[in-house]
């Protein structure tokens, strides 16, 4: 899925130096992920209330190129890709105007919540991945 999520940097996103705190970038990326799921018709409350399967993050990173400050208008460009029958990843590019401020990645694996073992991605995730 290709998706763009607009957002304003808030005071709570920043640290004592007045720039976005590094860990909050992943929170902002997760907001974009949630919005992309909702946009594709997935019921967020059901998705994040695991009954049979869940999609934990097994790998994440962020690279920073340009500081972001309170009040900055940003856009997060999200692209999801299926890696294997049970795994997908999301890449994020965070822009402030035309400047690439950061890149991030989260890798998710589909698991059976009872056994905690990997299980194939369900059809609704396949649909989200290709839209």
- Catalytic hit among 2, 15, 46, 72: 15
CB-based burial label for 28 (10 Å; 0-12, 13-18, 19+): buried
Superfamily per CATH, domain 2-130: Hotdog Thioesterase (3.10.129.10)
List the domain boundaries for the chain.
2-130
Interatomic CA distance for residues 81 and 2, integer angstroms: 10
pTM of the predicted model as reported, rounded to 2 decimal places: 0.94
Q: How confident is the model at residue 131 (pLDDT cuts 50, 70, 90)?
A: confident
Answer yes or no: 15 catalytic: yes
**With 80 as the cut, is the pLDDT of residue 93 above it?**
yes
**Sequence-separated (6 or more) residues with CB below 8 Å from residue 104:** 25, 26, 29, 60, 61, 62, 63, 91, 92, 94
């Amino acid at each position: 899925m290709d998706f763009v999520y607009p957002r304003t940097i808030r005071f709570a996103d920043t640290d004592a130096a007045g720039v976005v705190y590094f860990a909050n970038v992943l929170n902002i990326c997760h907001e974009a992920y949630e919005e992309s799921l909702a946009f594709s018709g997935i019921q967020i409350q059901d998705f994040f209330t695991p009954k049979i399967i869940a999609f934990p993050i097994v790998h994440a990173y962020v690279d920073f190129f340009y500081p972001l400050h309170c009040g900055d208008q940003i856009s997060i460009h999200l692209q999801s890709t299926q890696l294997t029958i049970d795994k997908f990843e999301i890449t994020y590019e965070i822009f402030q105007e035309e400047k690439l401020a950061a890149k991030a990645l989260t890798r998710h694996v589909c698991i059976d919540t009872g056994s905690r073992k990997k299980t194939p991605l369900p059809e609704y995730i396949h649909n989200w991945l290709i839209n």
